[in-house]
Structure formats: structure tokens, C-alpha cells
Amino acid sequence: MPLVQSSVLHGAGAIAELNARVMKLGKELTELSTAQVAPDYSGPVLFLGQAAPQLLYDLAANALSGTPSEQDGAFARKLGKRVLPESFGLVDDPSRTTFEGQWLAGSYLMDDEGVPSQKVDLVEKGRLRALLMARAPSAELPNTNGHGRSGLGGWARGAIGNLFVTTPSKASDRELEARLLRAVRAEGGTFGIVIERLESRAFASQGVAPPQPERVFMLFPNGRRVLVRGGELREMNVRDLRDIIGAGGHSSVYNVMVATAGYPIPSSVVAPGMLFEQVELTKPKRSLALPKPISRPKLD
């Protein structure tokens, strides 16, 4: 089975930090090589650490664009409607340069159309209030809000800069895990799934092809964690964001270089741990058996 563990660092890092990352990856890859194969699973899944902003980026980054050519996006006709739990908000603020000491790649003073960046309250109390706009108007949103981004090639479109999830929750990771187990018991399950990291990639699929997990655990009622390998997330949907049943009190940063026809667009997503009510994880479908050796034929 191919095994993948990755660590992405934007900007220059100290040699000591780079060495620590390499050693951590080596340790995790060694652990993964002896982990059991992931089971088929359907039920509550907890996304912790980097996995939370990675998943939010894949589900919502493109859906939040209000550029007319993107009107068939998932949020295009959702203005005023609930798209997240009522306690959640979404804010995009390119003026922020750091979050809790971590650099935010999506910071900029002006967008690629020369418009000063603006803080935009996208979702308030779970309801979609705005979309990210370039100069090209739409029927509902006639003005730019400083989010026209093109990567210096092609037409600018509304795109995220620094996207933040806001929630009043102060729950710790352990409290989220306890809530996961309660949700599992309510469904009659014997274990839950915790995902701590997904693969890093330069595009978002709105859930059609979610990034694949790199760090996954089975969590049992006694608190035991079992590392598994090879699991794949099935298709998700932005509507799944409405059914988040828990959020943490600590947020993680995900910096990503979004691929475009021009230069990549640096963006950031900041999100707390999120507990989803129903997610499907599947075990590998291809055979894991090694090919049989063929004996050397005898020659006369």
C-alpha cells in the first residue's frame, strides 16, 4: 500500500524547525507502516487540527465566490439562508497578517484589480449574508469588496484571502472526542473516527473529491486510539456544513497556494475542530496482496 505523510511550510523556516518536521514525518510514516487497514465506516467523524481548515477549504472556498461566472456554485442562490449551524460565522479578512503568531498567506493590501482589501462578514448566525466579489457585478451584489483575485493571469474572480470560522465554543479536543463518542453510542456504533490531517493540494472540489486522509484514528469508548491507514473519504457536500454538531475552542491555520492560470494565489483558512454528524470513510478497494513470485523456468 502506498503510504503518504506530508508537511507543508510556506516561507523560510529555521533549520531546527525543518529538522523537527522531517523527524516527525519519519516517525509518523514508521507508525503508519504497521497500522491496521481502515474499516468501512459511516457515522460521526471529528476533524481536528489541520484537517478542519483543510476540509472547510475544500467544501466552501469556491462556493463563497460571487463572480457571475460562478453563479452555479453551491452558495450562489443561498443569500439569506442558513448554511452553517446558528452559532457559526464566517469572516474573510485579508488585512490580518498573523493568527496566534502564525503567518497567514492570504494577506494582501489590494486585490489584483487594484481595490483595497476589505473585511467581509460572509456568514452571521449561520446565515449567508455576502459573497466574495471582484469588479464584475452580479444581480444581487453589484459592488466589489476587494476580493478580485487572478494570480496575475486571466480574469479576476471573487476568492478567499484569510477565511476565519467564528464560534463561541470553548470546547477542548478531549471534550469534542467525548461528544463524538456520545454521538456514536446514540447510533449504536462501537467506535468513532478522528481525522487529524488531510492531504495538501492546490484546488478545492466543493466536496466532490475530498482530500484523502493522512492521519486517521479509530476512537473507542475507553479512550483508546488506534491508528489506521488507507481510508478514503467518500463524496461530501457543502450542505454537510449545516449539520456540524460540535466545534472546538482552538483554531488551526491552513495556508494553501491555489493553482490558477497565472501565478498561484496564496490563501489561508482558520478553523476550529469540527464534528460532523454523518461522514463515510471506506477501506481500500484494491487488493493489498503482493504479486506471486514466478519461478525461473528450467532450460534444456
Q: What is the pLDDT of residues 61-89, one digit of tens each?
A: 999 999 887 545 678 889 999 999 999 99
pLDDT at 263: 83
User: Which of 104-108, 200-204, 293-297 is most confident?
Assistant: 104-108
pLDDT band per the 50, 70, 90 thresholds, residue 169 = very high
- Compare 16 and 297 and report the one with higher pLDDT: 16
Task: Report the predicted TM-score, pTM, of the whole model to 2 decimal places.
Answer: 0.90
| pLDDT tens column, 95-145 | 999 999 889 999 999 999 999 999 999 999 999 999 999 999 988 899 999
pLDDT, greater one: 16 or 13: 16
3-state DSSP percent of the chain in helix, strand and coil, to 5? 15, 30, 50
For position 291, what pLDDT does the model report? 75
Note the Cα 201 to chain centre separation in Å.
10
What whole-number distance in Å separates Cα of residue 271 and Cα of residue 53?
5
E strand residue ranges, the chain: 36-37, 41-47, 89-92, 98-99, 102-103, 120-124, 127-128, 148-149, 157-158, 162-166, 192-198, 213-219, 225-229, 232-233, 244-258, 265-282
Query: If you average pLDDT over residues 199-209, what whole number do you get?
Result: 89
Give the span between the Cα atoms of 76 and 98, in whole angstroms.
Answer: 30
Answer with the residue of higher pLDDT: 76 or 233: 233
Residue 58 CB neighbour total at 10 angstroms: 25
Rounded to the nearest integer, the mean pLDDT of the chain is 91
